[in-house]
């Protein structure tokens, strides 16, 4: 006799669950790529650069100042290759460097980093990279080299944009090193500032293939809560309705324009938020390695519910 009683659901182990909404994975360290790919994720929705750079022990600016750009490019190629290879031919979105000034001070050459009152509102992300285009150029050269070696599954994602001019400028630098954004390489932005969310139409007009919600930052900037300040940590929540309102409008505009939408902040690993995002029509979700399986199940359940709802509506005429 089965002591647990009748079952309403059967879980078939080791059977891949298919979903229309892609479920991707975030990767911060190239060494973790293999394990991340074993989850069966549909690609990498966020490949962070910061940890690779920190592991080099030398500030990227120092490579440039010492006339060693080629060494920086080589190190980046080696690191990105591990991820691109583990996931090939699935897409890997390489996010260009987003280094707040306080995080790189311990590196060799990092002693010259400015001391800012609030690094989170300061010199980081694409704004910094456009001020120091040598580092951005080295990153683009690394991506170009890998593309030439056949790793055309690598796309580029720009962090912390707040105006389309930043997107335009970054594309210009990419073209200078021989990449052709949106022609032979997928090109996108992170939506991490309320400004980007509220004017997403302008970014679409400027030209993007995808957006990804960086909800860690989007939450701090929307709620005016420094994510590193313990005194206000209790007020920090991705579940504040303002966040979903911003995300909702971006998904709507992007879906109208055929631009892909994704999420790579922590909220992409939270089942209740993922459920809302799938209902809003997001095209992919990128989660932490240990959350991929759960997120996949949530996505499958919500998709099934939406299909049933639509089918019933159709049948009712
Ligand atoms: C985010 O802001 O949600 C994000 C994924 O980027 P990071 O956490 O690296 O700032
Ligand atoms: Mg961020």
- The helix or strand, by DSSP H or E, that contains position 187, with its residue range, turns out to be strand 187-191
> Which ligand 1 atom is the nearest neighbour of the CA of 46?
5
Cα–Cα distance between 114 and 313 in angstroms, integer? 59
Check pocket membership of 39 for ligand 1, CB cut-off 6 A: no
Q: In the chain, which stretches have pLDDT less than 50?
A: 1-2, 6-7
Number of other CB atoms surrounding residue 207 within 10 Å: 14
| Residue closest by Cα to atom 4 of ligand 1 | 214
Per-residue model confidence (pLDDT) at position 14: 64
Nearest of 223, 196, 193 to residue 208 by alpha carbon: 196
CA-based nearest residue to 259, from 306, 312, 196? 196
Question: Residue 4 has what pLDDT?
Answer: 54
Q: What's the 193 CA to ligand 2 centre distance in angstroms? A: 9
Q: What is the ipTM of this complex?
A: 0.99
Q: For position 8, what pLDDT does the model report?
A: 53
Q: What is the pTM of this model?
A: 0.94
Quick one: which atom of ligand 1 is closest to the CA of 267? Answer: 3
Phi, psi of 205 (to 5 degrees): -65, -35
**Per-residue pLDDT, 1:** 44
Q: pLDDT of 251-273, one tens digit each?
A: 999 999 999 999 999 999 999 99
Separation CA 20–CA 38 (nearest Å): 19
**79 Cβ inside 6 Å of ligand 1:** no
- Give the pLDDT confidence score for residue 3 in this predicted structure: 52
Packing angle of the helix pair 69-87, 133-148 (nearest 10 deg): 50
User: Pick from 273, 291, 293: which is nearest to 282 by CA?
Assistant: 273
CA of 242 to the centre of ligand 2 (A): 18
Task: Report the nearest-CA residue for atom 6 of ligand 1.
Answer: 214
Cα–ligand 1 centroid distance for 149 (angstroms): 29
> Is the CB of residue 276 below 6 angstroms from any atom belonging to ligand 1?
no
Report the distance separating Cα 98 and Cα 101, nearest Å: 10
Return the number of other C-beta atoms located less than 10 Å from residue 217's C-beta: 21
- CB of residue 49 inside a 6 A radius of ligand 1: no
**Residue 265 C-alpha to ligand 1 middle, in angstroms?**
5
The total of other beta-carbon atoms located within 10 Å of residue 25's CB is 34
Yes or no: say if 223 and 242 are a contact pair by the CB < 8 Å rule.
Answer: yes
CA 257 to each of CA 11, 213, 235: distance values in angstroms, whole numbers, following the listed order: 38, 17, 35
Q: Is 264 in the pocket of ligand 1 (CB under 6 A)?
A: yes
- Residues 29, 253: Cα–Cα separation, whole Å: 33
pLDDT score, position 13: 60
pLDDT value of residue 16: 79
Sheet holding 43-47, edge to edge: 260-263, 210-213, 187-191, 154-158, 91-95, 43-47, 22-27, 284-287
């Amino acid at each position: 006799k089965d002591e647990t009683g009748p079952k309403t659901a059967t879980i078939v182990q080791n059977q891949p669950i298919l979903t229309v909404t892609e479920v991707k994975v975030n990767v911060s360290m190239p060494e973790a790529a293999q394990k991340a790919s074993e989850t069966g994720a549909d690609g990498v929705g966020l490949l962070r650069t910061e940890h690779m750079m920190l592991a080099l022990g030398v500030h990227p600016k120092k490579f440039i100042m010492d006339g060693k750009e080629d060494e920086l490019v080589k190190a980046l190629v080696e690191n990105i290759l591990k991820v691109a290879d583990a996931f090939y031919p699935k897409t890997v979105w390489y996010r260009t460097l987003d280094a707040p000034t306080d995080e790189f001070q311990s590196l060799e050459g990092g002693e010259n980093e400015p001391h800012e009152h609030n690094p989170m509102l300061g010199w980081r992300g694409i704004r910094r990279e456009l001020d120091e285009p040598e580092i951005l150029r080295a990153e683009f050269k690394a991506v170009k080299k890998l593309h030439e070696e056949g790793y055309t599954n690598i796309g580029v994602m720009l962090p912390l944009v707040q105006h389309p001019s930043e997107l335009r400028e970054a594309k210009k630098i990419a073209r200078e090193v021989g990449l052709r954004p949106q022609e032979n390489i997928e090109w996108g932005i992170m939506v991490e500032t309320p400004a980007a969310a509220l004017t997403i139409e302008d970014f679409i007009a400027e030209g993007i293939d995808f957006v990804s919600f960086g909800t860690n930052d989007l939450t701090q900037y929307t709620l005016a809560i420094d994510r590193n300040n313990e005194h206000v940590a209790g007020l920090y929540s991705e579940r504040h309705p303002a966040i979903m309102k911003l995300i909702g409008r971006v998904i709507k505009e992007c879906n109208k324009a055929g631009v892909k939408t994704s999420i790579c902040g922590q909220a992409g690993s939270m089942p209740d938020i993922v459920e809302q995002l799938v209902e809003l029509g997001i095209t992919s979700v990128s989660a932490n390695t240990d959350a991929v399986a759960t997120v996949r199940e949530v996505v499958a359940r919500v998709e099934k519910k939406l299909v049933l709802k639509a089918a019933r509506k159709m049948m009712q005429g």
